[in-house]
Amino acid sequence: MKLRKILSVMGLVVLAAVYILLLELSKNTLWGWGIGLILILCYACVAARMGKEEKAKKGKKILAFCALVLCLILNYILTAPPYKNVPAVANEDPDVTEVLHLPQGDITGVYNEDHSVEVYAGIPYAAAPVGDLRWKEPRDPEPWEGVRACDEYAPMAMQQRNTPLYDSLQALLGTHNYEFSWKDQYREPLSEDCLYLNIYRPAGSSEEKLPVVFYVHGGSLMTGQSYYTEYRGERFANRGVIFVNFSYRLGVFGYYANEDLAAESPNGTTGDYGLLDQIKALSWVHENIDLFGGDSDNITIAGESAGASSVNALCVSPLTEGLFNRAIAESSGIAGYQPYHTFRDREEALEMGQDIMEEFGVSSVEELRAIPAEKLITTKYKNSSMCVDGYALIEQPYETYEKGNNHETALLNGSNLKEADAFLLSSKATNENFAELLEPILGEYAEEAIALYPAGAITRDQTFFVDAGGEAKGSLAYIYSDAWFSYSHHVWSRYMAAQGRPVYQYFFTKTNNYLSNHHAGELPYAYGNLTRHPGLYDEADLALSEIMQSYWTNFAKTGDPNGDGLPEWPLWDPEEDLLLELNDEIRLIPNPYQDLNELLDRYQEETLTGDPEEQDKTE
């Protein structure tokens, strides 16, 4: 009897612990914690009383436990995390800056904890793209009365996203950066009204106009937000560089294409609304950054992943001429003949647009505009690519580069060692299916790639526990890392060098306990945000971050990353093809993908010109 009681008590303790853990991972309110514990205690009292009653039937005990489970479920639902904007700075009750006068109205920002940086979050750079403005070029922002407090980041753009529980488990088991906090019992809001930017500047006035970095976030043009901790701008501001990041329309709201939309546009555009938002934000910064102490004649555009592809697009858009000087691109680009992602043919975009209309059972743009954003975002189609719309982009990017009409005067770019690994988790790569898995990126050249990197030739020092694996997985990930990501930088750098413009190329290989050298792994190093992840980085990581921040900010200031006390970073030479390896030891290394890049060149040329043998038959 005593053993049964002990086991019952232990069972309730375990239940309480698991339930509280569930509430914590789901970011439920603290009220939910308290109510949950009270419910379990009440059940314990009822169960104890039933235990003393000799006539208490087993059915009553089961009924009481079922009532507890039902109440716990209801508590879980009713105490779900509320929506709340993210504060601009981590310190509580931050001091407010002096009023700043903008053409649209007055604003105030907030100081970070040591008063070294002023942060202005949630500044509207365009009118809300809602109602009749959905799928139209961004308009000027509406003016406001009074003083606007820019102390919170505006909602992120509409996008599909995971539950808080899923995100917490991913952080706990995947990236290992989960942190327990009493302050994060909320969800970050989504909104179609998302066209806002954030500005980080050194505190106090400066007689000298400061260089500016304009950062475009990544996320496959489908997800992401302006305020992700890996690219917050305080550290750049500490180094005398004003940092700007912003949100833009994503997915079906940003890259939907329809002929009727093109017809109603005064510019004949459709399919690139997110890119037009980026151009609008850049134009706003160029026109207004002097009010923040910035130099409108010294703007560097920067981005990672789809943000880097967007930077590539900004470099060739006729609408951005004169709005910036240099470019920083990390882990993506669209300068190839046939970009592997974030770019598509206009006809393909229009075809998907028609599919979406059929999906929602509508026959006109007006009907599609009437669908609530929360429903529209559930589309099964991925609008994750730009296209030549005749306005923002007037030709394939490679054509602009071959004519020398691109705008960036200098380029700092590169990629990471394990770029594609996280995107291939579900693919089991064996000797039997290796060639088939490579065909989407290499076509008939798949066998030649296998000859260069056969199954087992490449192994990874780190793998995810959910990886499907296979004896060819390391080689598959290696080849895809180049094709999807690194190759685009080889092509982009080659164009810049041919034009006689300065180009610097890196290869990030540093391992760590967080993102390591996977896709986006360089971000917290380059933008100085390692300390936002306590326990995951060591002194060697911090030392590398200091060097990378110096490279990035020096480039933003002068177009040359080099400076006193830094390892020399020479201009990239296409003949030597040496990359600056960013690791504990910073050194020049031969491009590890030289042979594969030659193969990709041949494949890309064939996709552009068609099969030479077939051409001979038609001549």
Q: At the fourth CATH level, which superfamily is domain 414-528+549-614?
A: Alpha/Beta hydrolase fold, catalytic domain (3.40.50.1820)
CATH 3.40.50.1820 location in the chain: 100-409, 414-528+549-614
Dist CA 419 CA 135 (whole Å): 33
Picking from 11, 253, 269, the residue whose alpha carbon sits closest to that of residue 133 is 253
Distance CA 139, CA 133 (A): 8
pLDDT, one tens digit per residue, over 376-398 is 999 999 999 999 999 999 999 99
Contact 332, 485 (CB under 8 A): yes
| 418 φ, ψ (degrees, to nearest 5) | -110, 60
305 catalytically annotated: yes
Q: Mean pLDDT, to the nearest integer, of 335-345?
A: 97
Lowest average pLDDT, out of 158-167, 175-184, 208-217, 505-514, goes to 175-184
Q: What is the pTM of this model?
A: 0.95
Strand partners, 157: 191
In the structure encoding, which two tokens stand for residue 224, read together? 């992401």
Out of 168, 226, 247, 305, the active site residue is 305
Unique residue bearing structure tokens 């009383």: 49
pLDDT tens-digit readout, 163-205: 999 999 989 888 888 989 888 999 999 999 999 999 999 998 7
Listed in sequence order, the residues at least 6 apart from 120 whose beta carbon sits closer than 8 Å to its beta carbon are 88, 97, 100, 107, 108, 109, 150, 198, 199, 200, 201, 292
C-alpha closest to that of 483 among 512, 453, 456, 457:
453
Is the model's pLDDT at 465 over the cut of 90?
A: no
Q: pLDDT digits over 93-122, tens only?
A: 999 999 999 999 999 999 999 999 999 999
pLDDT digits (tens, 9 = 90+) for 556-607: 999 999 999 999 999 999 999 999 999 999 999 999 999 999 999 999 999 8
Burial class for 374, CB neighbours closer than 10 Å (0-12, 13-18, 19+): exposed
Sheet holding 117-124, edge to edge: 110-111, 117-124, 196-202, 242-246, 210-216, 294-304, 326-330, 411-416, 503-508, 578-582, 587-590
The fourth-level CATH superfamily of domain 100-409 is Alpha/Beta hydrolase fold, catalytic domain (3.40.50.1820)
